[in-house]
Chains A and B, each alone.
Chain A
Amino acid sequence: MNITDETIEYVAALAKLELNREEKEKAKKDLGSILEYMDTMNELNTDNIEPMSHVFPVKNVFREDIVTNGPNRDILLSNAPKQKDGCFMVPKTVE
């Protein structure tokens, strides 16, 4: 399946990726072969087959509603590139 430049640029923008000419071509080829494989899958008859929602045959894993965690701020913030006033500091996103 052929992927247009437009599509690859859109997908890259959504994933916040900047691709050069060469990378773009490679991504087009890779995604194209994935979609081709999907086309093969689409040829199969899947009537009466439940869509699989998880790879493990496990259901209903829950925890009880009990507080188990206490304040842990220093450790949580220790990997932050920047922090201030007990907050993670990131580039400006709000006015």
Chain B
Amino acid sequence: MKSYETVIGLEVHVELATETKIFCGCTTRFGGDTNTHCCPVCTGMPGTLPVLNKKVVEYAMAAGLALNCKINQQCKFDRKNYFYPDLPKAYQVSQLYLPICHNGGIEIEVDGVKKVIGIHEIHMEEDAGKLTHDPWEDCTLVDYNRCGVPLIEIVSEPDMRSAEEVIAYLDKLKLILQYLGVSDCKMQEGSLRADINLSVRETGAKEFGTRTEMKNMNSFKAITRAIEGERKRQIELLEEGKAVVQETRRWDDNKDTSFAMRSKEDAQDYRYFPEPDLVPMEISDEWIDEIRNRQPELRDEKMLRYEKEYDIPAYDAGIITGSKRLADIFEETVAICKKPKEVSNWIMVETMRLLKETEMEPEDIHFTPDNLAKLIALIHDGKINRTVAKEVFESVFKDNTDPEAYVKEHGLMMVNDEGELRSVVEKVLAVNPTSVADYRGGKEKALGFLVGQTMKEMKGKADPGMINKILKELL
């Protein structure tokens, strides 16, 4: 078989985290009873007129600047015409001729190799409604709650060559947008959706092959599988001497394969034209500067700052800043307790362990920084030892419990009364004469056993250091 190269470009749709829709004052909140987040504008009633949400323009600019794009200071909307009931007006307000951002790029890294993925353009548009099939009446039911929710579509250049590069690109994009606060990027709720344009060509060929577009992938895993599957399908066609047909395909994750959605016979002709219901935008230099000055610290800067300011190892800084939620918890907790290394350890070890065990994402964490800070203070003040602290943390992680209350309620406070501890140690020595003899005979290991026995007697509520000290004295 010949050797092939895969060429991939992405169209990523991102729902913006505005309060209201792009052209009307309806809420963008996820869920809600059908058609209750709607008004005459977003249900396409005749005679209504759209008015652009300023925040949408600002979020699109913020995304563009963070992705190193140029801003089109003369910018306008266009109509994309098609008949489908998910858009009640029979057109989508989008941008074709003068999209808000263009010519950008971000750097990704795969297996230590750095590479820039170009951003062709970013445009603003409205989301569509949701269609469900009603099996009883054999008809379609339409809910317009999502219709008119603002989207930006980020179109990359065909610069990616593997599923790994695609995932690295998406990961980076997602983090940037989350740090900007422009979108929550929840793939499960559809606030980040990627369409994949993929073609293959013989290694070394100059021309691109015929590409297909794949839709309907709602996880990174599905994207990886869809890329592998489509690459294989196209190579098989070429090996059999057949041609790849330019078409849109729908990925079915359950069947692990893609199906043609639209064939070239009914090719889409969207008949774009300038949107007459919206006036053009003129974006001033001052406005761009204002957005630029408001940009928050992004991941790469944050990582460097954690290493420098908090003396956190690069690996740990990478993991923590790899999720905006973790980075927020880290910084807020450090702000309260001023112990960055301790906070970092609790995130890196126990939080990560519990996330894995409960199959949760960092975004699902619901404990508050003040409770983690309280837990760290309890250890630092010698009120609980580390073993007990782990137990307390599990409760904090699960129910956002107040650690002080938990320790009090379960009687986990460390016994710092040396007299009491001494009498327990004496008791332990009395019932374990063999271990005492072993230790005195030079077996260091016996000491560990005696510490363990004392700790057991104390129900874990003792400072191991103090037990050690008393044991050594008495032995």
Which A positions have Cβ atoms within 8 angstroms of B?
14, 16, 53-56, 58-69, 71-73, 76-77, 82, 84-95
Contacts and interface: CB of A to CB of B under 8 A. Distances in A.
Interface in B29-72: 33-40, 43, 45, 51-57
B142 A63 contact: no
A14 B270 CA distance: 9
A73 B142 contact: no
12 contacts: A59-B280, A59-B282, A61-B52, A64-B54, A65-B18, A68-B20, A76-B35, A76-B43, A86-B143, A89-B134, A91-B140, A92-B138
A63 B25 contact: yes
Nearest to B16: A65
B137 interface: yes
Given A53-B274, A87-B143, A60 B282 contact: yes
Contact of B141 (A16, A61, A85, A95): A85
- Which of A16, A53, A58, A60 has the largest count of B CB atoms less than 10 A from its CB? A53
Contacts of B294: none
A87 B40 CA distance: 15
Interface residues of B, number: 53
A76 B55 CA distance: 26
Contacts of B34: 73, 85-87
A30 to B, nearest CB: 17
Contacts of B278: 61
Closest CB pairs A-B (n = 9): A68-B25, A87-B141, A62-B54, A65-B55, A71-B36, A86-B34, A88-B142, A69-B39, A63-B51
Contacts of B54: 62-65
Interface of B: 18-20, 24-27, 33-40, 43, 45, 51-57, 74, 76, 81, 83-85, 88, 98, 131-134, 137-144, 269, 271, 274, 276, 278-282
A58 to B, nearest CB: 5
B141 A67 contact: no
B25 A87 contact: no
Contacts of A90: 85, 139-142
Contacts of B74: 53
Given A63-B25, A65-B20, A86 B35 contact: yes
A61 B271 CA distance: 25
A64 B143 CA distance: 25
A73 B274 contact: no
B475 to A, nearest CB: 71
A54 B84 CA distance: 27
A76 B44 CA distance: 10
A22 B36 CA distance: 46
A72 B39 contact: yes
Nearest to B271: A14
A94 B131 contact: yes
Given A60-B281, A68-B20, 14 more contacts: A53-B280, A54-B280, A61-B51, A62-B52, A62-B53, A68-B25, A72-B38, A76-B38, A82-B139, A86-B35, A87-B35, A89-B134, A90-B85, A93-B85
B449 to A, nearest CB: 65
B24 A69 contact: yes
A91 B84 CA distance: 11
Contact of B20 (A16, A66, A76): A66
